[in-house]
A and B are shown apart, each in its own frame.
Chain A
């Protein structure tokens, strides 16, 4: 019959070893997560597959634009943030569908689908290699989240082993305007 002492002496260290391995292994979700590149608003931030240059960050209480000849006005319980930017693709025709703002508290705010039909929305465009394209991303946030924001872009939300670009936005302290008109040529 097997004696208990050596059995315990084997099982306990093996269990400890396995527990240690499990605790120190990076989770699958992290291993297959995004390939991150970060930069500042003052520079053009480039990853292997695409790049972004943020031009302006505007705050407004109301945004207004024309869609199919009909005037649209959108209010928010917080504040609208409109980011104008230039995107470029390097290797292949690709969209940049996912845009998120990380607010002051660290919460993440995806771009607002409410303004999804405004002119020049970048996430509705397809970026062709060699042809930089400009446009806007539109977000709504509570006012106190708008300091020290970070813009995060990728081809799709929750990218796996794909490029993700983060851009720290300037706190230029621009006052929130009451109304921002989004025209065909941007803001």
Chain B
């Protein structure tokens, strides 16, 4: 009887210890992740940053009253424009650069629209090993007060030859890889 009792106790003890260990590991991991997130490397303007699928170097940012292709921006809006060199370092043509750069200190900005400088037109695919000068444009409400220094966060992506659902190859987000701070100048109207 006592033997059986002690066995039951032992099982309970083990289960409790396991649960505590799991909780501790999970907590430790999330603390670690938080710390990692706080430690996003800061890079200078015009420094090339490799972010998995893309290599990007952002050179400057301005507030503009017109789109890079000459079109007017929507009424009641202004445009945050960032100029950069963008290169596709993956193995195939792609236009999935929409999540590459995020505004870290401007809230509620939608995804940017990209323009190809060479054509002064909307950017479509970027082909591997063919870097191009491009501009990213975020339209924000004209009334929004903007910081004097714009912080852009570059988001990485990781290639998985077999994903977990279909065992198909694909790119998956892997967190921020760098942050670049740029003075936000008011552009001179052309």
Contact = CB atoms under 8 A, between A and B. Distances in A.
Direct contact of A and B (CB under 8 A): yes
Interface of A: 27-29, 74-78, 100, 106-110, 112-114, 116, 140-142, 145
B91 A78 contact: no
B130 A78 contact: yes
Given A107-B91, A110-B92, A114-B116, A141 B168 contact: no
A107 B167 contact: no
B179 to A, nearest CB: 28
A53 B19 CA distance: 66
A141 B132 CA distance: 13
B129 interface: yes
B127 interface: yes
Contacts of A113: 124-125
Contact of A29 (B92, B125, B166): B166
Contacts of B131: 77
Given A75-B118, A114-B119, A114-B124, A140 B130 contact: yes
A142 B127 CA distance: 9
B125 A27 contact: no
Interface of B: 91-93, 116, 118-119, 121, 124-125, 127-132, 162, 166-169
B128 A107 contact: yes
5 contacts: A29-B169, A107-B92, A110-B92, A114-B119, A140-B127
B167 A29 contact: yes
Contacts of B166: 27-29
Contact of B125 (A78, A107, A110, A141): A110
Contacts of B167: 27-29
A109 B128 contact: yes
A181 to B, nearest CB: 19
A110 B127 contact: yes
B125 to A, nearest CB: 6
B162 A27 contact: yes
B123 to A, nearest CB: 9
B119 A141 contact: no
A113 B114 CA distance: 14
4 closest Cβ pairs, A-B complex: A27-B167, A29-B168, A113-B124, A110-B93
Given A107-B92, A114-B124, A145-B129, A28 B168 contact: yes
Contact of A112 (B92, B121, B125): B125
Given A28-B168, A109-B93, A112-B125, 4 more contacts: A27-B168, A28-B167, A107-B91, A112-B127
Contacts of A116: 124
B122 to A, nearest CB: 9
B37 to A, nearest CB: 32
A108 B90 CA distance: 10
A182 to B, nearest CB: 16
A107 B129 contact: yes
Nearest to A29: B168
B68 to A, nearest CB: 15
A160 to B, nearest CB: 11
A147 B48 CA distance: 29
A98 B169 CA distance: 19
B116 A108 contact: no
B133 to A, nearest CB: 10
- Chain A CB within 10 Å — which of B129, B131, B168 has the most? B129
B4 to A, nearest CB: 11
Nearest to B118: A75
A97 B118 CA distance: 25
Nearest to A27: B167
